[in-house]
Structure 1
Amino acid sequence: MDRRSFLTRSAIIGCSLAASPLMTPISFAAAPSDNRLVVIILRGGMDGLAAVAPYGDPSLSEIRGPLAMGAEGYADLDGFYAMHPALRPLLPLWKDQHLGFVHAVSTPYRNKRSHFDGQDLLEAGGASLKSGGVRDGWLNRMMGHIPGYRADMAYAVGNDALAVLDGPQLIKRWSPDVDLALSPQAIRLAQMVLKDDPAMSFALSEAFQLADNDGDPVAVNGGMSEMMAMLEDNSQAGRDTSYEKRLAKFAADRLREDARIASFSLNGWDSHAQQDRLLNRSLGTLSDVILTLKNELTGPVWKRTAIVAMTEFGRTARFNGTMGTGHGTGGAMVLAGGAIRGGRVFADWPGLGDADLLQQRDVMPTRDLRAYSGWLLRGLFGISAGAVERDIFPQLDLGADPKLLL
C-alpha cells in the first residue's frame, strides 16, 4: 500500500474490525462556532409525498388512490400535512418545535433523473453538472468562509467519499465500525517506523486517538488470543445496535467535543416497488438516527444543533404497477435540532392537479433546495449572502429568509 492509499483509505496497522470498503464513513470538521450542523444524505430519492403527506390537498387521494396515506397511523401535523407512521417517534420533537420539514424543493437537476448525477449535484451544490461546474463539496467550500476555521488531517474508511465534504479544506474522516487492537510493542514499532514522516505519524496518532474514543483501549496486554477476543467483543457490541444508530452516536460523541460539522449518508430510499414496506424501514431508521442524536446531544449542545436530511430528488406523484414510484423531481427535506424553528412545514405548496405537476408526473419544485441550505449556513456560521450565492452555491438566488433557525 502506498503512502497516499494509507492516508486516504485506512490509517490502520494490525488487526481491524469491519474495515470493509462498503462501509459508510462519517466525516467531521472542527470550527470555532458553538453551533453544530449535521448533514444527512438520503441516497436513493426519498418520496416526500409519503414522508410528509399533504392530505389537505384533495388531489393527493385522486392521484394515489386509497394508498395515498399508506398504512394507518399517519400523525397530523397542522391540518394540511401528516407525518408517515414510521416517523411517529419524532412527534414529541414536533410538539417541542425541534422538528420541521421543507416541501416541494429540489436541486436544479432536471429530466434525466439519474441517482449518480443527482447525488453529484446535490453534494457539489452547483447549478449544473456541465463542464466547468463546481466539483468539490458545498460544505467544504463553506468552511473556507469561516474565520479561524481549523481542521486536522483527513481520514477516510469505506467507499462512500461523502463528496459534500470533498475539497481543499482539511477534515477528519472515520467510521465507527473500525477499531484497533494492538500490543504495546506493535504500537511502539509503528510509531518508530513512521517517526520521520510527519504526515504519516500524525495520521497514526489520530487513528489511535479516535479508536480510543469508543471506550476500548487500543493497547492490549497479552497475545494474539487477547487481541482477537477484544475485537470479537467489539463486534458483538456492534451487532447489538444498528449500524446507523452507531453512526449517529459516534457523530454525537465528536460533536460534543471539538467537531462542529458532521455528515453521513443513509441508503435505501429507491422505492420502485412495494414502497410502503421500504419506507417503513428507511423512515424508521431516519427516526432512530435523529432520536439518537437528540439523546446524545443533550442540554446546551442540542440547543445549538441543526440537523438537515436531504435527498437527490423526489418521486413521481403517481404509483406504478408495483405500488412503487419512479424517479421524480420535487421532494422534501427533514429538519431537526434545538436550533431549528420547528413545528412547521416550510413550503410554497404547488398543488397536485395535472396542471400543477411538473411534466404531469412530478411534484413541482417551488424553491431551490440550496436556498434552505444556504440560510442554514448563514444563520449557524455567519456566512455572508454574497459568499453563499457566489462561492458555496453558485448561481443561487437565496430569496427571502424562511427563518429556519431560532
Structure 2
Amino acid sequence: MPAPLSRRAFLARSTIAGCSLAASPLVTPVSFAAAPWETRLVVIILRGGMDGLAVVQPHGAPEYAGLRPDRQAGPDLDGFFALHPALAPLMGLWARGDLGFVHAVSTPYRDKRSHFDGQDLLEAGTVTLEGVRDGWLNRMLGQMTGVQARTAFAVGRGEMKVLAGPAPVADWTPDAKLTISPQAMRLAELVMQDDPAFHAALSEAAMLSQTRGTRTKGKPHQKIAAFVAEQLRGDTRVASFSINGWDTHRAQQRALNGALGRLSDAILTLRDGVGAAIWERTAIVAMTEFGRTARLNGTGGTDHGTGGAMVLAGGAIRGGRVLGDWPGLDEADLYGRRDLMPTGDVRAPAAWLMRGLAGLERSALERVVFPGLDMGRDPGLLL
C-alpha cells in the first residue's frame, strides 16, 4: 500500500497537477494580517540603503552644494528642504497634507554597514539580533485581540521578516496563479481533510487566485501595490512589502530616478486602489536599513552610511512637514565625519503610528514591540 501523500510532498509535486507561479525577480512576497480596527498600516521596506540626503534635500544648508555637486533640483518643500524630482508626482499629496518625512533617523545599527544585518535589525525592531526570531509588526499583532490571517496559504520567494512570528499572518505573491483541475483539487482536499486549517487555507488560496483575474496589470511594483490595495479594501488592516534598488554606489542619480519612481508609483497606486474613504484611514511608512555617506564618492555614488530619512504617506498622516532634529552637515557634525548624524530612532515614529492607529499602550510598544526604545515626545504624526 503506498505511503500517504504528505502536505509537503503534495506541494512539491503541485506543478504536475497544474500549479504555476508566474514570478518576477522584482516581485517580492507581500504579507498581510486582518485585525478588528478600521485604520490601515502599510510598511514598505526600502532595501539597499536609501540616500535620504538625495531624497529630502537640505538645499538650505550651506554645505550641501559642496557635498552634492551633481544634485538634481526638485520642488521646494519648506524653504530648507526640497524633494528629489523623481518624487515630484507626490507633490499633490504634500500640498494636501498626505505626505511627510522624518529626517536624520536610523536603527540602532552602527558602523559595520552590512545590508543583511542592517535589514534584519530594521525588521526585527530590536537593539540586537541575538535571540530575536520575530519582527516588530508581528509583535504588534501579538498585542491585539481578534487578529486573524487573511489567508494561511503562502507562495513566494523569501519572507518579510518584519511580520515573521507567532501571530497569524498570510504571505502571498501577487503574480501567483493557482490553476488546478477539479480532480486535482479534490485530491488535495482529501489529503488535507485531517488538517482543517490547511484545508481551509487551500480553498481560500484557490478562490483568491481565481478572483485575481486581470486586476494587477502594470509593472511589478504597481502589481504589488494594486494587490495590497485590493486586500486593504477588505479585511486586511496591515500589509508589508519591499522595494529594491537603493544601493547606489555608482551613478546614483540614474539608479535613484528608477527607485524613487517605483516608490512614487506604489504610493499613488495604493491611494487610487483603496479609494477615498479608506485612504483617509491609511498610513504608509517607508523605511530603509541605513542612510548613505554625505559626500559623493569618485564614481558618482554614495557608500553605506548611518542617518537617513523615512517617508510617511496616507490620508491619516498629518503631513506637509519634514520632521526630525536636523544635525547639520558641517564635517564636525557628521557621524564619523562621513555620514549624516542620526538624531532620532527610526523605530519611534513607527511606534507612534501604531499607538494612534491601533491604540497600543506606550509601555507595550517600548517593552514588547520595540524592546529598549524610548519613544520620546509625541510628534503628532496622525490627524
1:366 and 2:343 aligned: yes
Aligned ranges 1:304-343 → 2 under 5 Å: 304-343=281-320
Return the alpha-carbon distance in structure 1 between the equivalents of residues 140 and 11 of structure 2: 24
Do the aligned residues in 2 keep the contact of 1:329 with 1:365 (CA within 8 Å)? yes
Q: How far is 1:189 from its partner? A: 3.3
Where in structure 2 are there 5+ consecutive unaligned residues? none
Which residue does the alignment assign to 1:200?
A: 198
Return the alpha-carbon distance in structure 2 between the equivalents of residues 9 and 299 of structure 1: 43
Which residue does the alignment assign to 1:37?
A: 41
Residues 310 and 10 of structure 1: CA distance in aligned 2, closer, same or farther (over 3 Å): farther
Return the alpha-carbon distance in structure 2 between the equivalents of residues 329 and 164 of structure 1: 20
Q: How far is 1:203 from its partner? A: 2.3
Which residue does the alignment assign to 1:188?
A: 186
Do the aligned residues in 1 keep the contact of 2:123 with 2:162 (CA within 8 Å)? yes
Residues 291 and 153 of structure 1: CA distance in aligned 2, closer, same or farther (over 3 Å): closer
Return the alpha-carbon distance in structure 2 between the equivalents of residues 156 and 11 of structure 1: 16
1:384 and 2:361 aligned: yes
1:246 and 2:223 aligned: yes
1:141 and 2:139 aligned: yes
Residues 12 and 333 of structure 1: CA distance in aligned 2, closer, same or farther (over 3 Å): farther
1:396 and 2:379 aligned: no
Residues 379 and 244 of structure 1: CA distance in aligned 2, closer, same or farther (over 3 Å): same
Do the aligned residues in 2 keep the contact of 1:314 with 1:330 (CA within 8 Å)? yes
Return the alpha-carbon distance in structure 2 between the equivalents of residues 32 and 100 of structure 1: 27
Which residue does the alignment assign to 1:99?
A: 99
Return the alpha-carbon distance in structure 1 between the equivalents of residues 155 and 271 of structure 2: 25
Q: How far is 1:47 from its partner? A: 0.2
1:301 and 2:305 aligned: no
Q: How far is 1:144 from its partner? A: 1.1
Aligned ranges 1:64-75 → 2 under 5 Å: 64=68, 66-67=69-70, 69-70=71-72, 72=73, 74-75=74-75
Where in structure 1 are there 5+ consecutive unaligned residues? 217-233
Residues 287 and 5 of structure 1: CA distance in aligned 2, closer, same or farther (over 3 Å): farther
1:159-192 CA distance string (max 9 Å, x none)? 2310000000011111111112233333333323
Residues 248 and 9 of structure 1: CA distance in aligned 2, closer, same or farther (over 3 Å): farther
Which residue does the alignment assign to 1:80?
A: 80
Which residue does the alignment assign to 1:227?
A: none
Paired residue total: 379
Do the aligned residues in 2 keep the contact of 1:25 with 1:173 (CA within 8 Å)? yes
Residues 137 and 160 of structure 1: CA distance in aligned 2, closer, same or farther (over 3 Å): same
Q: How far is 1:113 from its partner? A: 0.5
Return the alpha-carbon distance in structure 1 between the equivalents of residues 237 and 24 of structure 2: 27
Q: How far is 1:17 from its partner? A: 3.6
Q: Secondary structure at the match of 2:64?
A: helix
Do the aligned residues in 1 keep the contact of 2:27 with 2:220 (CA within 8 Å)? no
Do the aligned residues in 2 keep the contact of 1:32 with 1:149 (CA within 8 Å)? yes
Cα root mean square deviation, aligned = 2.2
1:173 to 171, 174, 183: 171
